[in-house]
Every structure is written in structure tokens, then in C-alpha cells.
Chains A and B, each alone.
Chain A
Amino acid sequence: MNIRRLSGVILLILLFLGGVAGGYLYLSKVFPKGKPAVEEIVGTPTKAEDLFPLRIYYPHGNQLQMEERRLPRRTVQIAIAEASVEEYLKGPKDVTVSNIPRDVRLLGLYKDADSILYIDLSDEFRRNFQGDAITEFLLLKGLYESLISNIQDIKDVKVLIEGKEIETLGGHLYLLYPLKDVVLPETNFLYSDKKDNKNE
């Protein structure tokens, strides 16, 4: 009787150990060592459809040139505006000398009740600007177009420097007013003797 009971207990222990060992082997295959399950889930590759295109407009000669940037999808409009400004400030790809001022930081961004988007930039935007009238015009026009073409429901764009209004960026155009009426009139390239564009 005692022997039967003892062999029964041993059998149960063996079954239990077998179960533990089997379970361990199974789990170690599913979740390899050193890579926690959470990381595996987060690390799932982003699908192509999770990217969205941003149209960014940069000064190029006497006009603007559009570059498309693909970024992880954002749904909130203000996040799209933020991404648009940050991409714009990075400057065009494959260009060694850009007219976009260096080291400019986006300090803040908000939309008012009249659907005017306020962009607060660091002082480097003014301090590091070097250019003539057409350069200043295209710099502001590029920023305006980059925002208007990517964000819905904004009527205009206004630039602040370190949270304040300033009269002008480079001494040629007003920055006191929203950009639409400053940059929307087309510049007429009347004529040049050799029929070629400047800055090219």
C-alpha cells in the first residue's frame, strides 16, 4: 500500500516536472532571451500606409520649389503644422547653401479664433537671415505655402519672434501683419538683358 502510494506521488512529481520543462521550452521559443515581449510588439515594422506626405516649399532662384517629405502619420492638425515648420527649417535636400536661416527653433504654435496660425520662432530666424528683398520675400512665401498646403482650416499665418511681433525680418518686408497679403501678390520678373535669373 505504501509502495503504491509512493509510486503514485513520484509519478505526479514527474508529470509536474515534465509539464514545467515543456512549458519553459515552449515559452523560451516564443519569447527568446533578452528581448521582452513588450519590445517585440513595439518593434513591429511600420507599414508604408502609416506615412503621410508633406509638401514643403523652398526658395529656388526667383521662385519656390516643392519637395515632398514622408513622415509618420499625424492626425492632429497642430502636429502636422509643427512637422511642416520643422521640415521647412531643415532646408532643402541636396543643396549645400540654403537661404533658410541656421539654428532656428520652433518655440510654439497655436491657432486663434480667426483661424490664423501663429508660429513662434527663435531669434535666429531674424539674426541669421542674410538676403536681399527677393530672398526675404521667398523665405516668407515658402513658409506660408508649406503651412497652407498641408493644414486644413487655417486662413492665414503670422510669425512671431521669441513670442513678440517684430516689424521686419530683413529690412525689406513687413512681418507685423499675417503673411497672406505680404506674400501672395506675385513678383513680376520684368526683364533682364540676358534673360537669365539671378541667384542661379
Chain B
Amino acid sequence: MIVSLSAQKKELQLEKQSMPILSKVFVIDAGHGGYDFGITSGDVSEKDISLSLAKDLSTALSKKGKKVFLTRKVDQYMSLADRINFVNQKSPDVFISLHFSMSEKFVLYSPKFEDQGSNEMVDLYNLSSRQKKYIGKSKALSDSIGQSIKDGFKADVIHLEMPLPLLNAVGAPSVIIELPSPRHVVYDQQMRSRIVNSIVNGITLYGQSAI
């Protein structure tokens, strides 16, 4: 029985890996950078781990024949406005921003808009609210990646809706993934591979659900 369950699981895993990713163009954003270290723990900083993971994820998707753009490739400061402009110029099928959470859990953010958004300041803040058209797809993307992380790590995943500028101002299906704090997790090569695999599987699931 144990053997058959394990075999079934392996089969599902292989099936998931062999499924095509339907999205073609990706933008991966490594959070923070330069003098903005993000969350730190000893010598480990959010800006460095998010960059390593963004590069690993880019490599994994490129191997599957996808076009991938990184908002930053080195340790440099990049403003929110520059990141938003970069994403909107590339018009990707999927936008993923990588950050750390303060807890030991994975946290996934989906965009959120106020219903009465006719106020001038609200419009300015949302930078024309480009996300509105994609909000359903962003939610599906967040759900798929969340499910994949849950399966891969057997871990609690928190889903939050928040009016974050990097989500609200981007014209693409988008998600911000906060990884467990380096105070709780060691980000060695093995851990990074597991995270990248979970995200890729989540993107695959999202593509299948969008058919």
C-alpha cells in the first residue's frame, strides 16, 4: 500500500513536470537591493537570497524555452516606480516578485482595489490601476503557486490581499511571494531548488487552470 501510494505520488510529480507551461514571457523581480537590504539575519540578507532565487527561477524557466526578464541582475537599488515601469514595458504573461516574510511561513500577496476608486489620489497611488484587468488571473496564479508550495513543503501558506503598488500598478497576472524568514530557514542550494521547483509547478498548474 505504501509502495503504491509513493509510486502514485511520483507519477503525479512526473506528470506535473511533463505538463507544458503555457505562459511564454516572465518577469522575475528580486526584492530590495543596493543599500536596501530588506530583512537580515546575521550575514544573510533578503536582497541577496531573493536575487539568487530569481536567477535560479530564471534558469529553470529558460530551460523550458521561456523568455525571462529579471528586474535586476546584480546587487543594485531599484525604486518601486522603476520596477513597475520595467514590468509594464515587457508586458509579461506572468510577473513574480520574490521577498521574505517575517515569519516561518510562506505568504502570497494578491492585488486589492478599493471599490470607490474615483478619488484622484487613489488613482495616482494605483498608477492608473493597470492590474484591474488581471485581478482574476493574479488570484488564480497565487492559488496555484500556493497549492504547489503546500504540496512540496507540507507547510502552511498564507494568502493575503493587499493594495501593494508593485501589484496594483502592473498590467500582468502578478503575485508577490514572501519566503520564510532566514531566521527560520537555511537557504542552501537544496532549499533553493525545492522553492524553484514548487514555483515552476505552481506556474504549470496556473497554465492548466487558465485553459
- Give the interface of A toward B (CB within 8 A): 62, 130-135, 137, 167-168, 170-174, 177-178, 180-182, 184-185, 187-194, 196, 198-199
Contacts and interface: CB of A to CB of B under 8 A. Distances in A.
24 contacts: A132-B100, A132-B107, A133-B160, A167-B79, A167-B81, A168-B80, A171-B36, A172-B99, A173-B165, A174-B165, A181-B122, A185-B112, A185-B113, A185-B162, A185-B163, A187-B162, A188-B161, A191-B159, A192-B159, A193-B156, A198-B103, A198-B107, A198-B158, A199-B102
A102 to B, nearest CB: 14
Given A132-B178, A181-B125, A198-B101, A171 B80 contact: yes
Contacts, number: 97
B38 interface: yes
A132 B39 contact: yes
Given A133-B178, A190-B160, A182 B32 contact: no
Given A167-B81, A190-B160, 8 more contacts: A132-B101, A133-B162, A172-B164, A181-B119, A189-B160, A190-B159, A192-B156, A198-B105
A194 B158 CA distance: 9
Contacts of B31: 171
A185 B114 contact: yes
A99 to B, nearest CB: 8
Given A130-B40, A131-B39, A132-B102, A187 B114 contact: no
A167 B80 contact: yes
B176 interface: yes
Contacts of A191: 158-159
Interface of B, helix, strand, loop or mixed by DSSP: mixed
A137 B162 contact: yes
B110 interface: yes
Contacts of A193: 150, 156-157
A193 B32 CA distance: 28
A134 B165 contact: no
Contacts of A131: 39, 102
A130 B161 CA distance: 21
Nearest to B81: A167
A109 B176 CA distance: 35
A168 B162 CA distance: 16
A194 B32 CA distance: 30
Contacts of A196: 156
Interface string B16-51: 000000000000000110001011100000000000
Nearest to A178: B121
Task: List 7 tightest A-B contacts by C-beta distance, closest first.
Answer: A188-B161, A190-B159, A198-B103, A192-B158, A185-B163, A132-B101, A193-B156
B94 to A, nearest CB: 19
A137 B112 CA distance: 14
